[in-house]
Amino acid sequence: MRLPCILVLFLGCGSPDQVQPEIKQLNEIPLNIRDKTEVDERTATVNDTLPEGWVDVKSLIPELVLDIRYATSDNFVGIQLYPCERCLLRKEVAEAIAVAFEALRADNLGLKLFDCYRPRSVQEALWRKVPDARYVTNPAKGSMHNRGAAVDLTLIDQNGHEIDMGTEYDFFGEKAYHTFTKLPAEVLTARRKLRDLMQEVGFKHIRTEWWHYSYQIKNYEVSDFRWPCPGQAL
């Protein structure tokens, strides 16, 4: 059972270990992404070019909005680190995102993803820029992004506009912390909505970044492959 929001609030919301969420699985929600030959064919074609067990999330959820900042120079490093914009995740992680996405439909909300799988060599580049474990995982340890098991994301409305979360993505400071509460009520509500939803589908938040979620149900190895851009083989 999930704790009532108000109780979670008083517990500081920073203690997911105390909460035993009921993890939603794909077969618990009537997903219109499933049981369609056309979808199966599309996912097979797209994901054929990826290593075994990896999925391009857009092949599961074409409506998903991507704003993969490391595929541009609009990021805190200031240089393009990915060859092109793609959101790759381990299969179970991508399916959990699909469940979250479907759950948001009823509220006319969607998801925008800023980052998904990140090759370990890119992690090294980030660490050289910000060697601070509060914000960047040491590549020696390996980030959950390097395992294809983490996402950076936010909520968007039906027009594709980001819901106000109080700071920009990759804002390094206390204002982005879940524990920072000197924010308008609607911002706190939006952060809590995203956190509760992600927790329900198997992700855990971190204290310092409202946008970061790591999948908890399964462990994966660190990877360092670069994904193929459209028209390329791996």
151-170 positions binding Zn ion, by CB under 5 A? 152
Interface residue with Zn ion, options 212, 215, 220, 223 (CB under 5 A) = 212
Site size for Zn ion (CB under 5 A): 2
| Nearer to Zn ion (CB atom), residue 69 or residue 212 | 212
| Nearest alpha carbon to residue 26 among 92, 106, 111 | 92
Of the listed pieces 42-50, 93-101, 147-155, 168-176, which binds Zn ion according to CB under 5 A? 147-155
Classify 129 in phi/psi space as left (phi over 0), alpha (psi -120 to 50) or beta: alpha
Q: How many CB atoms neighbour CB 52 within 10 A? A: 6
For residues 24 to 63, the per-residue mask of contacts with Zn ion, x marking binding by CB under 5 A and - elsewhere, is ----------------------------------------
| Residue that has been written with the tokens 């999948």 in this structure | 215
SS3 196: helix
Sole window of 78-86, 95-103, 194-202, 204-212 interacting with Zn ion (rule: CB under 5 A)? 204-212
Between 39 and 65, name the residue whose CB sits nearer to Zn ion.
65
Strand bridging mode 110-115 / 54-56: unpaired
Pick 70 or 227: Cβ nearer Zn ion: 70
Q: Which of 126, 52, 118 is nearest to 85 (CA)?
A: 118
8 A C-beta contact, residue 98 and residue 89? no
Asked whether the beta carbons of 55 and 87 are under 8 A apart, the reply is no
CB of 149 to Zn ion, least distance (A): 10
Q: Which of positions 64-123 make contact with Zn ion (CB under 5 A)? A: none
CB of 115 to Zn ion, least distance (A): 6
Q: Min. distance of Cβ 87 from Zn ion in angstroms?
A: 12
Residue recorded with tokens 């929001």: 5
The candidate with the shortest Cα–Cα distance to 1, out of 20, 15, 17, 18, is 20
Minimum CB separation from Zn ion for residue 40, in Å? 30
Given the rule CB under 5 A, which residues bind Zn ion? 152, 212
